[in-house]
Amino acid sequence: VVGGEEATPHRWKWQISPVWDPDGFAHLCGGTIVSPYWVMTAAHCIIGKMYRVALGEHDLYEDEGTENYVDVNYIYLHPYWNPTDLTLGNDIALLHLADPVSEDSNIEIATLPTPGDTLPSGHPCYITGWGLIQAGGNAAIRLQEALLPVVDHATCSRDEWWGSGVNQRMICAGGDGSKAGCHGDSGGPLNCEGTDGSWVVQGIVSFGPGTCNIYQKPTVFTRVSAYLDWINEVRPGLSWSCVSSPLPPSSKSSARLLQAPSCSTSPHPAHPTLSLSVPTLWNPIRHSLPLAPAPPLPPSRHASRPYSSTTLQPLPSPNPPPLLIPTPSSGPNP
């Protein structure tokens, strides 16, 4: 988070850190607890197959006694997620946990919006995460927060803002050139004040300019209220078993399912190489000890022209991992 400040420890109790195990677990992105067995994050955060979720986290480098770690055994990508065309949206994934979340004074399940819920311009929302605190700088050790007021779609879709790069299944917030999300914040929540004063997770950090805090280039979020039907369809759980081939074209499954760690032996895919042109899927940050500076970013190429898919380098296509298909056997818990 650029231009923010350290959050009060455990203020955002549903914020989690999905950690990936390439050779040892390391923080990559953010995420949100949405039910006892389910975590929501961005689809572009899914770059490996061995995941664990860190709950009750604040300081990534300190054992504060509040942390709880749970393995992920199923990964569900939205079926229409396409990393080569950000204008489509659908940057959402659900992680099924091997064990249920136990709520306490530091861990809580998030409140989600109602279907079709939209926010007016200027509505107060907070982005939270452990991403870069300045473009080309270090990632945060302690959870950061920043107030990002909502920018309505009519404004955000103007040519001098994001133009055709955004659609109505997204939320724009910020854009003052000072406060913004950044690399490593992806997948985390956009926490917006509800009518009763409680906090509602309205968005999932998706993308922004390569150098993060650019005037009239607000942080862009997946709008959760546009995907509640899909979330609720996946979240109750089906019954799944491991196979080594993709789902057939005729499958009626509404989710692209990736592997369970217990049934996959294929090697980890390489860390993706992403363009820093605009708009940019922010790179997940490998937060491992000792903390090393993130690689410097080149000058932003934020032209005011409408977004073209040619400005973004596609993600590499690793060998497809084993997928999961429904069977009568036992499967994920609801």
- Name the residues annotated as catalytic: 44, 91, 186
The alpha carbon of residue 240 and the mean position of all alpha carbons in its chain are separated, in whole angstroms, by 24
- Cα 237 to chain centroid distance, Å, stands at 21
Please check whether residue 29 is in contact with residue 20, taking contact to mean a CB–CB distance below 8 angstroms: no
CA 239 from centre of chain: 25
Beta bridge partners of 33: 39
d(CA 113, CA 226): 10
DSSP line for 151-202 = E-HHHHTSTTTTGGG--TTEEEE--SSSSB--TT-TT-EEEEE-TTS-EEEE
DSSP state for residue 214 in the 8-state scheme: B
Backbone angles phi and psi of 88, in degrees to 5: -75, -20
| Nearest partner of 76 among 94, 57, 55, 54, judged by Cα | 94
256-258/240-243 β-pairing: unpaired
Buried/exposed 264-289: b ≥16 CB within 10 Å, e otherwise:
beeeebeebebebbbbbbbbbbbbee
User: Which two tokens mark 202?
Assistant: 């309205």
Residues 330 and 239: beta-carbon distance below 8 Å? yes
Residue in this structure with the two tokens 């091997």, named with its chain if needed: 98
